[in-house]
Structure 1
Amino acid sequence: MNSYEIETVESRFISKGDRCDGSLWLPKGVSRPPVIVMAHGFGAIRDVGLQAFAERFSASGYAVYAFDYRGFGHSEGKPRQWVSPRRQLQDWAAAIAHVRALPQVDGERLVLWGVSLSGGHVLQTAAHDHGVGAVIAQVPHVSGPASIAQVPPLTLPRLSLAGIRDLIGGAFGKPHYAATVGRPGDVAALSAPGAWEGYVGMVPEGAPWENRARARVFLELPFYSPIRHVRRIKAPTLILAGSRDTIVPARSARIAAERIPNGRFALLDTDHFELHSGEAFERNISLQLAFLDEVLPAAKAAASDHQTGGKEVAA
């Protein structure tokens, strides 16, 4: 496999009137490569753990476009730190339209890549955008009820109360926030054992990340279930899950993959965060690159119809 040198350029787009920041990784010497569009999961920014994936993909001949949602990182948008599936799906649509118009890439060979909450976003988006060439969803949020069931019973009412406070305060221009990640017992979106170490361990020093999110998201997430739409996905889709994931249950991810006509599933012996580093990352990225090399090769025209019918990938 070729290993290309990489150049990176900043490339911004507008979503609902606000400028969103993005970075484009390009393999040098490759004319209009296929392009992978990616964004991060709950409350994160593109500087947190995505660069390693972008570098490996682009070194293999793919262009990569990673962006920050409105209100996150250096993107515009207020109130800040507003996690909302509805708003973020709008940002995905704007980012995809932007990337398809870029002259450096082949916008007709486009891959959607998401992790955790954005893993759900790419599934939801691909269900309605049949021009997508392939989808990779890593430990994706696919079912609101399934993800909420992972929250400790004593924490759930506290999160709901925080959400109500944000709804009321937001009406008067005073949004209420809760922590994105915490330790067990904290009022935080992610507080499972190991979540603090796994999440914060990915944040580079000096990155413009804030450990807070508008609390109204806790009232929205239970009703966000991309699994309801996945049967409509036409593109080859790879879903990867962790067998020890205590945030997004692997069983729900497997069911989603089985419902996708051209879906595949890989189960790795990891938690929610270990797929970003070390040996788990190497196994993970190898599976993803092998999938892309089959369904949307970087060096030649896109592969023709691959009907896999929920085939499981050896992990």
Structure 2
Amino acid sequence: MRSFQRSNRYFLSGDGLCTAWLYLPEGAEKPPVVVMAHGFSAERSFRLPAYAEKFTAAGMAVLLFDYRNFGDSPGTPRQLVDPDRHLEDWKAAIAHARTLHEVDGTRLALWGSSFSGGHVIMAAAEDAAIKAIVAQVPYVGGLEVKLPFGMKLKAAWALLRDRMKARKGGAYYIPAAGSPRRFGCMMAEEAEEFLDLVPEGSTWQNAVPARILTKLAAYQPREQAEKVTCPALIVVAEKDQLTPAQLARDMAAKLPRVAVASYECGHFGVYDGAIFEDVAARERDFLKQYLA
């Protein structure tokens, strides 16, 4: 595998600071750059370096960042999931990547997975200069979650407590990954597999401020798909319980220049093992094609 250098980078976004890793392939002069970030409540260290190293080995630079309030990026309350803030961070990361003297910022692509798979669609819909996007098991909206009455009461109580704490700058937390029997943001059978992505020694907690529950229904990246002009690769998992494959396909049909890659696995099956190797290779080849 081609060697690379990884260095820490920092950029301003909104009211705070984002931290990032810049991966540079050894011996490459002004390589193209792929901007990457994780999904719903995850940090950049959760298996994303494995993708970044695959792309860097193929001669591309990677800017892999943490959202504000996540990982090494400062900000409170911690682990605040908010699609509007996430999109601000994406725009700031793209702007930062274009200023880096080590890369060719005119050849820039976006890579997102799960929740950030929706973010890259939104970002590309507003920025015609982006050369390509990869949206892996993307959240595109359109989900109708029917909660049992007891779960609805827990959600209402959590929102009330969070609203009260937010007045003083705090937060009331709920699990990011739950299960059909345990209240949380993700409540499918496969949701707990998310915890397998957390690296050993991480200080990350399975908790997010409850206020995200008020924003999910309104976040509909699929409604912006027709505005995306660059080539797009959409990776779908046929057994996905969190971001169903058919919703991703329906969104992909609105994209003018799209390829769809299908895998017989669940939402988290794309992150490891033989499927990861195949997914990463497809994504690498797609990115090389449009960033060459």
Q: Deviations over 1:119-172 (max 9, x none)?
A: 1011001000111010000011101x32x43x6545455334423432233123
1:1-315 equivalences under 5 Å are: 3-143=1-141, 145-146=142-143, 148-149=144-145, 152-154=147-149, 155-156=151-152, 158-196=154-192, 198-297=193-292
CA–CA distance in structure 1, aligned partners of residues 116 and 156 of structure 2: 22
Structure 1 unaligned blocks of 5 or more: 298-315
CA–CA distance in structure 2, aligned partners of residues 160 and 224 of structure 1: 20
Give the conservation status (yes or no) of the 8 Å contact 1:54–1:64: yes
Q: TM-score, normalised by structure 2?
A: 0.95
Compute the displacement of 1:258 (Å): 0.9
Amino acid at match of 2:162: D
CA–CA distance in structure 2, aligned partners of residues 68 and 249 of structure 1: 26
Q: Deviations over 1:71-113 (max 9, x none)?
A: 0111111111110000110111111111110011111111110
CA–CA distance in structure 1, aligned partners of residues 259 and 183 of structure 2: 35
CA–CA distance in structure 1, aligned partners of residues 291 and 65 of structure 2: 22
- Aligned residue for 1:21, secondary structure, equals strand
Identity of aligned residues (%): 39
CA–CA distance in structure 2, aligned partners of residues 229 and 160 of structure 1: 30
Give the conservation status (yes or no) of the 8 Å contact 1:176–1:214: yes
- Aligned residue for 1:210, secondary structure, equals coil
Structure 2 unaligned blocks of 5 or more: none
- Aligned residue for 1:107, secondary structure, equals coil
Give the conservation status (yes or no) of the 8 Å contact 2:190–2:241: no
User: How many positions carry a matched residue from both structures?
Assistant: 291
Give the conservation status (yes or no) of the 8 Å contact 2:113–2:137: yes
Amino acid at match of 1:217: I
Compute the displacement of 1:4 (Å): 2.0
Q: Deviations over 1:190-216 (max 9, x none)?
A: 2321321x2111111112312111111
Give the conservation status (yes or no) of the 8 Å contact 2:24–2:62: yes
CA–CA distance in structure 1, aligned partners of residues 160 and 241 of structure 2: 26
- Aligned residue for 2:93, secondary structure, equals helix
Go from structure 1 to structure 2 and tell me whether the alpha carbon gap of 1:58 and 1:219 turns closer, same or farther (over 3 Å shift). same
Go from structure 1 to structure 2 and tell me whether the alpha carbon gap of 1:157 and 1:37 turns closer, same or farther (over 3 Å shift). farther
Give the conservation status (yes or no) of the 8 Å contact 2:77–2:170: no
Go from structure 1 to structure 2 and tell me whether the alpha carbon gap of 1:95 and 1:208 turns closer, same or farther (over 3 Å shift). farther
Compute the displacement of 1:65 (Å): 0.8
Give the conservation status (yes or no) of the 8 Å contact 1:114–1:121: yes
Give the conservation status (yes or no) of the 8 Å contact 1:74–1:208: no
Give the conservation status (yes or no) of the 8 Å contact 1:37–1:65: yes
Q: TM-score, normalised by structure 1?
A: 0.88
Q: Deviations over 1:233-273 (max 9, x none)?
A: 01101111100000001111001111011122122111010
Amino acid at match of 1:209: W
Go from structure 1 to structure 2 and tell me whether the alpha carbon gap of 1:160 and 1:39 turns closer, same or farther (over 3 Å shift). farther
CA–CA distance in structure 1, aligned partners of residues 204 and 250 of structure 2: 33
CA–CA distance in structure 2, aligned partners of residues 112 and 290 of structure 1: 14
CA–CA distance in structure 2, aligned partners of residues 287 and 222 of structure 1: 31
**Partner residue, 1:308:** none
CA–CA distance in structure 2, aligned partners of residues 286 and 153 of structure 1: 41
CA–CA distance in structure 1, aligned partners of residues 117 and 65 of structure 2: 14
Compute the displacement of 1:229 (Å): 0.6
